[in-house]
């Protein structure tokens, strides 16, 4: 998982309204609905104001990323679920979240980003939920994925979870990774999935792409009219490329929305069908 930087995070909170608008136009759902549908839940009838969340800054490892917890809280508030950032960090911050009545605690170290549902005693994790969020976004933009060829770039934790989710939806999945053995390992786990022999050729032939790699796709390889659903960071494309394809991207909000949705689902006695298979 590529570590976000303060500059990647800067301004995201101010862009949440534009993200909602863009998602509605591209995938037919706003951020909140996308998050819930990504984990198989219908947002209708769930009153998010009945819940309370906290974002706890975590100082372990490489430490706090400026703006990270604030941006998470702003994203969760944008979904309609009240969320505050604790004044304290780490264990003390977790205690503050509990004392202030949080139902969900969102926190991330250098290895994992989770939303912990205190009452349910279960957590959702970012690798799985980012995969679910971007697969659902692609499904919405493509008006369904069943029987359609989809290229997954990157066979890490997020890419692997994407392949599992695509298999469940009956897509025809090709996996590509610069480390071919990693792609082959994922293909072996999901019968019917194919390993790309030549990444550039596979990319140039793809109309539906999930880019879970840390490498932006070369603009000249992208087919006009392609739909590219990509949590990958850094996300840098020139204007000509951005005009010829449909891009679905944001560095943090879509994964966070699906995490919150799945964590709320634990309170409703629901667990997404693939969570048990997902690699954490």
Q: Applying CB under 6 A, which of residues 12, 65, 227, 245 lies at the interface with ligand PYL?
A: 65
Ranges within 217-256 binding ligand PYL (CB under 6 A): 252
Q: Which stretch binds ligand PYL (CB under 6 A): 64-72, 156-164, 184-192, 207-215?
A: 64-72
Q: Applying CB under 6 A, which of residues 23, 33, 54, 69 lies at the interface with ligand PYL?
A: 69
CB atoms within 10 A of CB 101: 9
Instruction: Say if residue 234 is preceded by a cis peptide, omega within 30 of 0.
Output: yes
Q: Which helix (H) or strand (E) holds 230?
A: none
Tell me how far, at minimum, the Cβ of 23 lies from ligand PYL, in Å: 18
Q: Which pair of structure tokens corresponds to residue 102?
A: 């949080």
Q: Which is nearer to ligand PYL, 86 or 174 (CB)?
A: 86
Ranges within 251-280 binding ligand PYL (CB under 6 A): 252
One DSSP character per residue, 29-74 reads S-HHHHHHHHTT---TT--GGG--EEE----STT-PPTTHHHHHHH
Whether the CB-CB separation of 21 and 244 falls below 8 Å is answered with no
Q: Which pair of structure tokens corresponds to residue 197?
A: 């022999």
Q: Which is nearer to ligand PYL, 78 or 145 (CB)?
A: 78
Helix (H, G, I), strand (E, B) or coil at 195: strand
Question: Is 57 a binder of ligand PYL (CB under 6 A)?
Answer: yes
Whether the CB-CB separation of 210 and 229 falls below 8 Å is answered with yes
Between helices 16-27 and 126-142, what is the axis angle to 10°?
50
Question: Is 211 a binder of ligand PYL (CB under 6 A)?
Answer: no
Between helices 126-142 and 31-38, what is the axis angle to 10°?
110
Question: Is 35 a binder of ligand PYL (CB under 6 A)?
Answer: no
Site track for ligand PYL across 116-145, x = CB under 6 A: ----------x-------------------
The CA distance from 131 to 166, in Å, is 10
CA 249 vs CA 167, 193, 210, 234: distances in Å: 22, 25, 10, 11
Q: Applying CB under 6 A, which of residues 36, 51, 68, 116 lies at the interface with ligand PYL?
A: 68
Tell me how far, at minimum, the Cβ of 252 lies from ligand PYL, in Å: 6
Q: Which is nearer to ligand PYL, 126 or 241 (CB)?
A: 126
Dmax over CA atoms of the chain, in Å, equals: 55
Question: Is 54 a binder of ligand PYL (CB under 6 A)?
Answer: no
Tell me how far, at minimum, the Cβ of 204 lies from ligand PYL, in Å: 27
Site track for ligand PYL across 79-118, x = CB under 6 A: -----------------------------xxx--x-----
Tell me how far, at minimum, the Cβ of 279 lies from ligand PYL, in Å: 16
Interaction site with ligand PYL (CB under 6 A): 1-4, 57-58, 64-65, 68-69, 108-110, 113, 126, 252
């Amino acid at each position: 998982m590529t570590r976000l930087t303060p500059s990647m995070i800067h301004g995201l909170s101010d862009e949440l309204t534009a993200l909602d608008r863009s998602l509605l136009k591209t995938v037919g759902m706003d951020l909140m609905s996308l998050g819930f549908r990504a984990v198989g839940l219908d947002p209708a009838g769930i009153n998010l104001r009945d819940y309370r969340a906290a974002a706890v800054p975590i100082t372990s490892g490489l430490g706090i990323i400026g703006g990270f917890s604030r941006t998470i809280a702003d994203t969760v508030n944008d979904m309609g679920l009240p969320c505050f950032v604790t004044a304290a960090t780490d264990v003390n911050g977790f205690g503050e979240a509990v004392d202030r009545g949080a139902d969900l605690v969102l926190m991330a170290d250098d290895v994992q980003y989770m939303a912990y549902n205190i009452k349910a005693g279960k957590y959702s994790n970012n690798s799985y939920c980012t995969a679910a969020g971007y697969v659902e976004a692609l499904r919405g933009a493509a008006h369904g994925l069943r029987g359609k060829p989809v290229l997954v770039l990157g066979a890490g934790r997020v890419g692997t979870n994407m392949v599992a989710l695509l298999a469940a939806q009956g897509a025809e999945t090709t996996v590509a990774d610069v480390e071919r053995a990693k792609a082959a390992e994922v293909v072996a786990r999901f019968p019917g999935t194919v390993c790309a022999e030549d990444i550039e050729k596979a990319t140039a032939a793809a109309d539906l792409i999930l880019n879970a790699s840390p490498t932006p796709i070369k603009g000249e390889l992208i087919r006009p009219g392609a739909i590219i659903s990509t949590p990958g960071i850094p996300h840098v494309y020139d204007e000509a490329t951005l005009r010829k394809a449909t891009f679905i991207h944001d560095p943090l909000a879509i994964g966070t929305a699906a995490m919150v949705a799945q964590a709320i689902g634990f309170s409703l006695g629901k667990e997404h069908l693939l969570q048990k298979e997902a690699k954490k």
